[in-house]
Amino acid sequence: MPTQYGVNPNQDVSLLDILDVILDKGVVLRGELIISIADIDLIYLDLRLLITSVDKLMESNERKIIGEEEAKWSIDQKRAAGSN
């Protein structure tokens, strides 16, 4: 039976298939690395990695901008209605 991504569990999956799903959906990796000696933290790294295609990133930014514009318009409409 195919899974959520249309891959049969008994079917071989290539690296290209995996990259296609990652670039289409996007992946966020986050981690922390602390280097310490004698319980004294010397180095702290907060790592964040976003892997996606440029098209998906642009599409996401466009949706965010449209959402912000709609929210601003809605607030302006409520203020205008409240002042009447």
Q: How confident is the model at residue 35 (pLDDT cuts 50, 70, 90)?
A: very high
Asked whether 50 and 22 are in contact (CB, 8 A), the reply is no
Window from 4-8, 13-17, 70-74 with minimum mean pLDDT:
4-8
Give the SS3 label for residue 46. strand
In tens, the pLDDT along 36-83 reads 999 998 999 999 988 887 787 778 777 777 777 777 888 877 787 776
Q: How far apart are CA 59 and CA 25, in angstroms?
A: 12
Asked whether 36 and 42 are in contact (CB, 8 A), the reply is yes
67 is written with which tokens? 């959402």
Asked whether 31 and 1 are in contact (CB, 8 A), the reply is no
Specify the pTM. Answer: 0.42
